[in-house]
Structure 1
Amino acid sequence: MTPLADALFDALARRPAGVAITGPDGAITCGEIIAAADLGARTLLSEGLRPFAPVPVEVDNRPTDIIDMLSVYRAGGVAVPIHRATPEVRRREMLDRLRPSPTLDGASTVVFTSGSTGSPKGVVLRGDRQAGKLAAIGEETKWPQGRRTLLALQLTFSFGQWVTWLTLLRDGTVVFPERLTRDAVVQRLSAGGIDCLPAVPTLLRGLLDNGPVFGGTVMAGGESLPAGLGARLRQAWPEARLGDIYGLTETGTSDFFVDPDVYDVAAGSLGRPATGIDVRIGDDGELRIRSPWAMAGYLDDPGRTAEAFDSDGFFRTGDLVSYRADGRPVLVGRASDMINKGGLKVAPREVEDVLAAHPAVAAVLVTGIPDPETGEAVAAAVVAQAGMEIDPDVLRGWVVERTEKYKAPSKILVVPALPVGRTGKADRGMLRALFRKSRRAR
């Protein structure tokens, strides 16, 4: 087994009668998980599984998904979580890459990217680096023993994986909602007994409008937490400890932290870099990160792996940042998301920040769409605050008053909720598809 597997099974063995997982069908003890994982590992080995061979694991946030992944770890294989609802064409792309490779030596997990802008990339994570990073995150966040964590994240998502493993390593309990939907999460939070809520901001926004007051630790991650949404959370949940985390699967996740103790002053920034990583800003404003816990590479893709790192071993994140007056870095957007409007460059994040400050706007997502005159046009989808109406012309005027006129969206679509991908994050690719289909944009 890898160091990650050793650490997880050692933690489970410390408390065989302790509850490790609880969900709609009841509780599962640590001892029961070990027994089930041992049985699963024996089955895999009897079928000829060789060390560090990749094993697809079907997941959709059931408690048994954790057991299935642990079975692969126990057998010495590499777990490759794939969502059960993945379209067949995309599933085949993933499965076709699952063959023996030197990149998999020492690996424990392969996490496929969403592939919203192309074919998915298989990020190969080594077991020793995953174990080391989990220990580091535990220290960075001062993760307590015995925490009950509500898993409102996909297990195909590295964020969902690390909060699951860290909860088990620290003798806690992973709590599953009945389904991974806003209403099911609201229902489980309302039942009480939750200490920690890790979630993407899109879900947090939905919980604010529909959920109960939560007083535990809130860990935002996976996408940017707008300062305005953070302020609403702080006001609605005054007893909660709100933190924000930035990181990439390729770098081992959790590269920057906005700690709860300083959230009010650091809100809207990336916060502080995690201990042990090096940060560099390229001449083009791209954030680059060098981490001892970085991926081993992209599965079966040495070319893309080489392109992902610069000559000094810094990973090219593709995220553009700037520094604000207090010295904290601020995410401007992704280089690949930049809108080229007749030669004028527009960062979607900048327009989103302006629109989000309007009192009638609860949520916003901006993207570029084809335009016959300028090549690309700025387009926005907005969600109205409860009980309020949005006039697109008024919103355009709001933007023009606060930034350059060319950055104002030429198309604004008022929607009940932002389009999201399978990980629950707002998805610009889906937004572009929405504009292609819609005739309601003004």
Structure 2
Amino acid sequence: MGDVRCARATPNVRGGAVSRLSASYDSGGAGAPLLGDTIGAALARVASAQPDAEALVSRHQGIRLTYGELVEAVDGVARGLLSVGIEKGDRVGIWAPTCTEWTLLQFACARTGAILVNVNPAYRPSELAYALGQSGVRMLVTARAFKTSDYLEMLSSVRADLPRLEMAVTIDGEAAGGARDLEWSALVERGAGVDPSEVAKRGEQLDTDDPINIQYTSGTTGNPKGATLTHHNILNNGHSLAQVMRYTAADRVCIPVPLYHCFGMGVGNLGCITAGAAMIYPAASFEPLATLEAIAEERCTSVYGVPTMFIAMLEHPRFGEFDLYSFRTGIMAGAPCPVEVMKRVVDEMHAREICIGYGMTETAPVSFLTRPDDDIERRVSTVGTLLPNAEGKIVDPFTGRTVAVGETGEVCTRGYLVMRGYWDNPEATSEAIDEAGWMHTGDLGVMDGDGYLNIVGRIKDMVIRGGENLYPREIEELLFQHPAVASAQVIGVPDERMGEELMAWVVVREGVEVTEDELREFCRGRVAHFKVPRYFKFTTDFPMTVTGKIQKFKMREMAIEELGLEAAASITTA
């Protein structure tokens, strides 16, 4: 680190302006002191300060809770957990879409020291069995069904393979059928027989560095890994974001992102309680119309989402009907944000202080964020600078050395926000977090002389065509500038001669037509010839996770089959 500090001390003159950095290392500075609270203590403190303020609105359930009512309900669930013998460190799973019960369980686990295991609502039986088995879940709280998925049927099909799963609690409807299984209401009723002082006693045993949450990453190969986060990780990340975004008790935050993800339960729920803001759930899962209605009718001041969510709202045929002038800020994160989409969110949704965020589940999740006062150029071209109390650097992925400002390398972060590790997986943990405590993200980025980060792609998404390193993000940004293009994703597909070629998947705006040749010609006049996609595919959507992240590995698999590239894909390279 000595060389890097020396580099920072020497001003870097670029284009007549003096920059802070010459090497790609930066620190977010001290900021406000980190919280030393557990999540339960933080919730109790805000409820004591403003018991009558609205805390949670679940519009699809018709539920509204003040902070006083929220704490009372949370403690009821916490007593229910104690009544069935849940101990500190026990894993309690939650498999459900967005609902009030999800949040009550989140805070009840935090109050009792149980480790909440977030189960992706889109999981199929094999994925469910892996997550519950690998983490050793003792109790699973589940919805009966969601959309076309019968959760109880899937659970029944794998339950014999889960000897550590003692009970299932059904949120809606009858119990699952096991000897110790319960309905949600019965769990709460049992808790009524537990003295409230028992919850307080359990709280005295808890520490901010205790693991409190396991979130399984959506890996593209092999089994997902359970990122293990502490009270200190996720509470302080939510608190830091709330401060940077200037939240107060007057803010109302629309949370259409799924609660199972750190964006929903961490940035969303925990960020709100640290500021005393209201959590607004538009629907059980993302629906563009429901989200627009929630912003307008609840007078939401902030909205969270991935770019595909904002695109869906902007492209909705009823978009123009809604009064969105209360919408002041928010975070767009989870995937690269096209410049044109960002400009439309600012201009057409009136989100003058919208922020772009960057991070990963393993960093609780946000590490970089644009600021409300950043000019529009910064907010459409970067993911901002480091949050307070965090460090970041860009390293050569082959040598591990910190690169100079303006050079591409792997993004690494360090600080309070880095996870404890992957649950019961020390090998994967040591691969991700080095001996100096740096989390290696696998993302390729460029840091400028003022610490602003631009993400250029994933190391694994980088396309190598005839020896040229190509970054799909650059081509995607270009295609977004074409007036007929609503959305675009670029991948690499195998090629026997060049190694890889570019392929663009394009969603065309409604009522507009465009051809491959027209898009190809549009690109030719703006980028080098080798960056022009060889293949185009017109589609109505992309394969994606429940959080809205594009699954490029699935796009590549589909493209290989559709284009007949199996022979090229079978070629082994060094």
TM-score normalized by the length of structure 1: 0.91
2:236 aligned to which of 123, 132, 141 = 132
Distance 1:213 1:259, change over 3 A: farther
- After the TM superposition, which residues 7-406 of structure 1 pair with which residues of structure 2 at under 5 Å, given as runs? 7-22=42-57, 23-24=59-60, 25-99=62-136, 106-161=210-265, 162-179=267-284, 180-210=286-316, 211=319, 212=322, 214-215=324-325, 216=327, 217-238=329-350, 240-266=352-378, 267-284=380-397, 285-323=409-447, 328-406=452-530
Q: Distance in 2 between matches of 1:288 and 1:166?
A: 24
Query: What one-letter code is carried by the residue in structure 2 that aligns with 1:68?
Result: L
Secondary structure at the aligned position of 1:55 is classed as strand
Per-residue CA distance 1:188-210 (angstroms, 9 max, x = gap): 23434211111111111111122
Asked whether the 8 Å contact 1:2–1:128 carries over to 2, the reply is: yes
Asked whether the 8 Å contact 2:235–2:270 carries over to 1, the reply is: no
Q: How far off its partner does 1:337 sit?
A: 0.9
Q: Distance in 2 between matches of 1:205 and 1:418?
A: 13
Asked whether the 8 Å contact 1:150–1:175 carries over to 2, the reply is: yes
Asked whether the 8 Å contact 1:2–1:107 carries over to 2, the reply is: no
Asked whether the 8 Å contact 1:81–1:110 carries over to 2, the reply is: yes
Q: How far off its partner does 1:158 sit?
A: 0.9
Partner of 2:568: none
Distance 1:118 1:97, change over 3 A: same
Q: Cα RMSD between the aligned structures?
A: 2.6
Per-residue CA distance 1:266-287 (angstroms, 9 max, x = gap): 0211222222212211124111
Secondary structure at the aligned position of 1:133 is classed as helix
Query: What one-letter code is carried by the residue in structure 2 that aligns with 1:178?
Result: A
Per-residue CA distance 1:291-345 (angstroms, 9 max, x = gap): 2221011111111111112332211111111246876332110101112334433
- Structure 1: 5+ residue stretches without partners: none
Query: What one-letter code is carried by the residue in structure 1 that aligns with 2:509?
Result: Q
Asked whether the 8 Å contact 2:487–2:507 carries over to 1, the reply is: yes
Asked whether the 8 Å contact 2:234–2:270 carries over to 1, the reply is: no
Asked whether the 8 Å contact 2:305–2:331 carries over to 1, the reply is: yes
- Structure 2: 5+ residue stretches without partners: 1-35, 138-207, 398-408, 565-574
2:542 aligned to which of 412, 415, 418 = 418
Q: How far off its partner does 1:139 sit?
A: 2.2
Asked whether the 8 Å contact 1:2–1:108 carries over to 2, the reply is: no
Q: How far off its partner does 1:437 sit?
A: 6.3
Q: How far off its partner does 1:357 sit?
A: 2.2
| Count of aligned pairs | 438
Asked whether the 8 Å contact 2:256–2:283 carries over to 1, the reply is: no
Q: How far off its partner does 1:156 sit?
A: 1.5
Per-residue CA distance 1:27-46 (angstroms, 9 max, x = gap): 12333333332232223223
TM-score normalized by the length of structure 2: 0.71
Q: Distance in 2 between matches of 1:430 and 1:213?
A: 38
Per-residue CA distance 1:28-84 (angstroms, 9 max, x = gap): 233333333223222322333221222111231112210121222222101112133
- State yes or no: 1:427 paired with 2:532: no
Q: Distance in 2 between matches of 1:408 and 1:30?
A: 54
Asked whether the 8 Å contact 1:201–1:224 carries over to 2, the reply is: yes
Q: Distance in 2 between matches of 1:57 and 1:10?
A: 25
Higher relative contact order (CA 8 A, sep 6+): 2
Asked whether the 8 Å contact 1:146–1:170 carries over to 2, the reply is: no
Q: Distance in 2 between matches of 1:434 and 1:213?
A: 41
Q: Distance in 1 between matches of 2:222 and 2:483?
A: 36
Secondary structure at the aligned position of 2:213 is classed as strand
Q: Distance in 2 between matches of 1:60 and 1:239?
A: 27
Rg larger for = 2
Asked whether the 8 Å contact 2:116–2:212 carries over to 1, the reply is: yes
Per-residue CA distance 1:367-426 (angstroms, 9 max, x = gap): 123344444332111122343222112212222332232322222112223332111223
Query: What one-letter code is carried by the residue in structure 2 that aligns with 1:188?
Result: A
1:3 aligned to which of 13, 28, 38 = 38
Q: Which moved more, 1:422-431 or 1:12-21?
A: 12-21
Q: How far off its partner does 1:239 sit?
A: 5.8
Q: Distance in 2 between matches of 1:328 and 1:134?
A: 21
Q: Distance in 2 between matches of 1:342 and 1:336?
A: 17
Per-residue CA distance 1:158-192 (angstroms, 9 max, x = gap): 11122212212322221111342223223323434
Q: Distance in 1 between matches of 2:256 and 2:294?
A: 10
- State, as a whole percentage, how many aligned pairs show the same letter: 26
